[in-house]
Amino acid sequence: MLFPPPKIDVEPGQTQPIDTRYGLTYEIPADWKNDHGASSGWSGEEGHAVYGSVGSFGYGSCPEKDGGWLAMSGVAGSRGIDLETVATERIRDVEWIFDDNAGTRPTVEYAAPVWFEIADRPAVRISARITDIPQVSGCEPDAARFDIVATPGYATAQTMVLMVQVNEGAYDVDVADDIIATLRPS
């Protein structure tokens, strides 16, 4: 499956499910934008981090930065089968995602991995709080939270990675928990 399944339409005011091409579905808040067929992410000298089946909040909130958002979710596939290794590699991307491309890094506080199950299959979550983010365009948040969940995929990838990124103060602090709690087989 090269593309995600069709968008699931819901009534206004309801949480929005996003089916992914990895055989798992997650839900975003009703006031987020469901871009299930889109991809988004970051690129820099140290790599790129691209996620599909995107949900976003506050897109275009900063006119100085094309494509800026206040919160975003998305998924990616990985060939890796060690869930903790995959999650650790993905969460470490925050070090260059939030740098200034001139060597100034943010301060990152990583939480210990948390293991749980999704439909009787293992999953691991690693969270990071990013502070002291270098200000480049004036659109960067002072702080952000970044969460990664790695779990076996049901289709097209050994492992599916769910990412939730929220600029501090931009949305309810529990939104990542709420989104992750909805992750289930499609």
- What integer pLDDT is reported at residue 66 of this predicted model? 66
Q: What is the arithmetic mean of pLDDT over 1-15? A: 80
DSSP the chain: --SPPPPPP--TTS-EEEE-TTSEEEEE-TTSEEEEEEEEEEEETTEEEEEEEEEEESTT--TTSTT--SEEEEEEEES---HHHHHHHHHTTHHHHTS-SSSPPPEEEEPPPEEEEETTEEEEEEEEEEES---SSS-S-S-EEEEEEEEE-SSSSSEEEEEEEEETTSS-TTHHHHHHHT-EE-
CATH superfamily name and code, 16-185: Mog1/PsbP, alpha/beta/alpha sandwich (3.40.1000.10)
- Averaged pLDDT score across all residues of the chain: 91
Q: Is the pLDDT assigned to residue 132 strictly greater than 80?
A: yes
Q: Is the pLDDT assigned to residue 116 strictly greater than 70?
A: yes
- What integer pLDDT is reported at residue 23 of this predicted model? 94
Q: What is the arithmetic mean of pLDDT over 122-140? A: 91
Model confidence pLDDT, tens digit, residues 88-100: 999 999 999 998 8
At 71, the pLDDT band (50, 70, 90 cuts) reads very high
Q: What is the arithmetic mean of pLDDT over 115-121? A: 97
Q: Please indicate whether residue 2 or residue 42 has the higher confidence score (pLDDT).
A: 42
- What integer pLDDT is reported at residue 129 of this predicted model? 97
Segments making up each domain of the chain, as ranges: 16-185
Model confidence pLDDT, tens digit, residues 72-87: 999 999 999 999 999 9
At 67, the pLDDT band (50, 70, 90 cuts) reads low
Q: Is the pLDDT assigned to residue 1 strictly greater than 70?
A: no
Model confidence pLDDT, tens digit, residues 29-46: 999 999 988 888 888 788
Q: Please indicate whether residue 111 or residue 36 has the higher confidence score (pLDDT).
A: 111
pTM exceeds 0.95: no
